[in-house]
Amino acid sequence: MSEEVLHRRDNVLVRRLILQPGEATHWHRDVCHRVTVVLTGSELSIEFRDRSGAKQVKVAAGQVDWDTPSDRGHRAVNVGTTTYEEVTIFFLSEPEGIPQPSPE
């Protein structure tokens, strides 16, 4: 997994995330609104920390999503056969906020 902060100012953070096939994000919660732009990839599996099953999500280059906060612990796994890459704009509640903290 590769994460890079591209820009941070006031309550806005822009991050690039790259997952090779089989790689996963860290376990986290989504505590703020965000806009995600998919650059490459085909399919993700969203696994939940409470082991209640996984959600399969088809993705495509150019896809743009508005996402709302959720306290449910989860991670994304690239289950496709190609690299997954996204750029996400996080709208933080405070300038030094952490956009995806670990689940409690």
The rounded distance, in Å, linking the Cα atoms of 10 and 85 is 25
Distance (Å, rounded) from C-alpha 17 to C-alpha 25? 9
Residue 99 in domain: no
Assess if residue 31 is contained within a domain.
yes
Domain membership flag for residue 28: yes
Which of 67, 43, 47, 63 is closest to 55 using CA atoms? Answer: 47
Contact between 103 and 41 (Cβ < 8 Å): no
Residue 103: inside a domain, yes or no? no
pTM of the complete model beyond 0.75: yes
In a domain, 100, yes or no: no
**Per-residue confidence (pLDDT) for residue 104, from 0 to 100:** 72
Q: What is the pLDDT along the chain (104 residues), one digit of tens a residue?
A: 999 999 999 999 999 999 999 999 999 999 999 999 999 999 999 999 998 999 999 999 999 999 999 999 999 999 999 999 999 999 999 999 999 999 87
Token pair 């959720």 in the structure block, residue: 70
CATH number at residue 82: 2.60.120.10
In a domain, 37, yes or no: yes
Residue 97 lies inside a defined structural domain of this protein: no
In the chain, the number of structural domains is 1
pLDDT at 49: 94
For residue 102, is it within any domain? no
Domain enclosing residue 74, as ranges? 2-91
